[in-house]
Amino acid sequence: MICMTRRPEFRKGFLKLQRLGTIEFGEQSRWNVRAPENRGMWAFPTPYFDTFFAYHKWVDIAPKEFRSDFPKNPKWYTKDESREGDSPDEIIFIEKKDPFSDRVREIPYYRDAHGDLHEAHLTGEYFDANDKWIREVGQKILPIRTFWYSGELYTHFMPDGSVGSSPMSSKDPNVQWSLMDTETLYKCLLKPGNVYGFDGHYDPSGKHRTYNYAVDHLEVFVPRGRGIIRDKI
């Protein structure tokens, strides 16, 4: 997550945005559950950025062992949950339905000396190696790019300055969008004290509790044909 102390930048009606990947509108069937339109571009107002929403772009170009939920090589697994045990000699994948979605996933298991199956666990070394590849290779191949945009875009801020629901995952349909021009969004970004949470949390008076927005609330979706994009202002 990137959230620096600098303020958002707004010049001549253009708001400075940033995204991971090329500055182009893409077809959104992969994210149709939460995308507000069929074609557009995901971004964040600078200086904010949450890699949770863009991590898949690095995964798409990563070496094969880092592209799936679980790698095939037994060296990346341990036999006990403390992640300090020996690596299994063989990994067996069994399909199971994800309890939080309709997706069927291949879960890694290994057999003990008695032939009983136990779930295998990824080692810390696997995640360290993955992070190292992103840091040393992925971020160079696919860097975060900035651009200026003036026009309408979708935001989680509502017209009254409150903040709606942001997605908990790429499959989360409980997302609130508002079509807003860049100047209105800029004003919302400068008044975090006026943002109210619709998350069921109330102060003793019964009103929605005021809180500073989190970076994930600042995700925006730029639809095609609703504004102007420039490299510089």
How much is the pLDDT for 210? 45
Percent of the chain topping pLDDT 70 = 79
DSSP code per residue over 146-183: EEEEEEEEEESB-TTS-B-PPPSSTT------EEEEHH
**Between the CA atoms of 22, 223, 28 and 164, what dihedral angle is there, to the nearest 10 degrees?**
110
Looking at 84, 119, 141, which one is the last position of a domain? 141
The pLDDT tens digits of the residues spanning 100-116 come to 666 788 999 999 889 99
How much is the pLDDT for 116? 92
Cα of 16 vs its chain's centroid, Å: 19
Domain that holds residue 87: 64-141
**Residue 212 reports pLDDT greater than 60:** no
The DSSP secondary-structure symbol of 91 reads -
- At position 143, the amino acid (one-letter code) is P
Looking at 80, 111, 141, which one is the last position of a domain? 141
CA separation for the pair 147, 222 (Å, rounded): 12
Total-model pTM: 0.68
Q: Are 11 and 74 contained in the same domain?
A: no
Q: Are 135 and 202 contained in the same domain?
A: no
CA separation for the pair 136, 134 (Å, rounded): 6
Residues 6+ apart with CB under 8 A from 108: 70, 77, 91, 92, 93, 119, 120
Looking at 88, 118, 141, which one is the last position of a domain? 141
Structural domain count, the chain: 2
The pLDDT tens digits of the residues spanning 165-211 come to 666 555 666 678 999 999 999 998 887 554 443 344 444 555 544 44
